[in-house]
Amino acid sequence: MNKSILLPFAVLFVVYCLWDGAVLLSNSDIFPRPYQVLLGIAELVQRGVLLKYVVASLFRVSVGFTLAVLIGVPFGLLLGWFRPAFLAFNPLIQILRPISPIAWIPIAILWFHVDDRAPIFLIFLSSLFPITVTSIAAVQNIQPVYVRAAQNFGLTRLDLFRRVIFPACLPQELGNTVNDPIISVRDLGISFPGKHRAEPIHVLRSLNLEVRRGEFVCIVGPSGCGKTTLLNSITGFIRQSKGEIFVQGTPVTGPDPKRIFVFQDNGVFPWLTVEQNIAFIGLSRRPRKERREIVHHYVQMVGLTGFERAYPRELSGGMRQRVEIARALAPNPEIITWMNRSVRSTLLPE
């Protein structure tokens, strides 16, 4: 069975056994056993109230969290930007922030009684301080060069806050997903067995690399330093000996159409024409009209108009390289890795 299916079930089974064993050993009358929870859910389904309870819980969570965002984000941004306000309110925030939401339950009941307002207040309170602190940190972590660049144009403090501070904070407010690296190489090591029982050949050792969305990164080095090995490992053709490689937060375990490799050696299929090479696999599921339009677009882009039906043997080396580049671009991948000895001869039309 596939590990991606087997491992989650194995974890669930272990959790089930630990939960059930802990309740049995403690002889607790408060905590139910797993099968009792399942029986309770089944009873709620039979009574037709499960959906009602789920919707009510989601409503309380949504309202509490929304209120925390509406208050915590602007409040945190203001504290991060205005130093006097930060000095005034930060001590109070640091005193209240570590208090567990459970400790506020008596106060919530005292203030709001036993209705929906009490849990909404607890959810609001448990979310407010983390959101506020994150917003403060987002402002304080802004690169000073952004602020200075905007000040060149004489912006008022309000305009500076609205047009620079707030947009610059958005990546961190949204969990930093905008600035998260699309490729992350951590402590990468790749070794190959030596000949005749010799010591292994260590091609890459403790290599770390991050590439963010939209960046164009060139890796330059002498022949044999491991450039091709690194790119092959990122695209999944080579397994690393140690370390980790992540693409968009997912470990690399093999080739993927979202990561296209333009090979150093000519990878154009000699039995296919230029347009057939460009349309290979990546466009096979598109409608025929759309496929033709895409192929025509990339043929023009790489300067091969008039050679659509030519075979690779009828093209020069540079033209074949351009066919491979067009084939890599056509399926619109997230990442393109490219090894080439001469950039100039490939990019410029002959």
Q: What is the pLDDT of residues 68-99, one digit of tens each?
A: 999 998 898 888 888 899 899 999 998 988 88
Among candidate residues 89, 119, 140, the one where a domain is terminated: 140
Domain with 35, as residue range(s), is: 3-140
More confident residue, 170 or 190: 190
Same domain, 192 and 280: no
Total of domains in the chain: 4
Same domain, 201 and 237: yes
Same domain, 262 and 348: yes
Same domain, 41 and 136: yes
Which SS3 state, helix, strand or coil, does residue 112 take?
helix
Same domain, 118 and 150: no
Same domain, 86 and 115: yes
pLDDT for the residue numbered 265: 61
Task: Please give the structure tokens belonging to residue 130.
Answer: 């983390």
Q: Per-residue pLDDT for 144 more than 90?
A: no
CB-facing half-sphere around the CA of 206: CA atoms within 13 A: 0
CB-based contact 86:136 (threshold 8 Å): yes
Measured between alpha carbons, how far is 323 from 307 in angstroms, rounded to an integer?
10
Measured between alpha carbons, how far is 62 from 56 in angstroms, rounded to an integer?
10
Beta bridge partners of 51: none
Which SS3 state, helix, strand or coil, does residue 324 take?
helix
b/e 127-137 (16+ beta carbons within 10 angstroms → b): bbbebbbbbbe
Among candidate residues 226, 256, 286, the one where a domain is terminated: 256
CB-based contact 19:34 (threshold 8 Å): yes
CB-based contact 218:343 (threshold 8 Å): no
Q: What is the mean pLDDT of residues 18-24?
A: 90
Task: Please give the structure tokens belonging to residue 123.
Answer: 């959810």
More confident residue, 221 or 126: 126
> Alpha helix (H) ranges present in 82-211?
83-96, 105-112, 117-140, 144-151, 157-160, 166-173
Same domain, 113 and 159: no
**Rg of the chain, C-alpha, whole Å:** 29
Q: Per-residue pLDDT for 241 more than 50?
A: yes
Same domain, 157 and 215: no
CB-based contact 307:274 (threshold 8 Å): yes
Measured between alpha carbons, how far is 160 from 154 in angstroms, rounded to an integer?
9
Share of the chain above pLDDT 70, in %: 89
Same domain, 10 and 117: yes
Same domain, 197 and 238: yes
Measured between alpha carbons, how far is 347 from 318 in angstroms, rounded to an integer?
8
Measured between alpha carbons, how far is 108 from 69 in angstroms, rounded to an integer?
20
Same domain, 15 and 88: yes
Angle among Cα 68, 71, 76 to the nearest 5 degrees reads 105
Same domain, 130 and 42: yes
Written as one letter, the residue type at 291 is R
pLDDT for the residue numbered 264: 61
CATH of the domain at 209: 3.40.50.300
Q: What is the mean pLDDT of the chain?
A: 81
H/E run at residue 345: helix 343-347
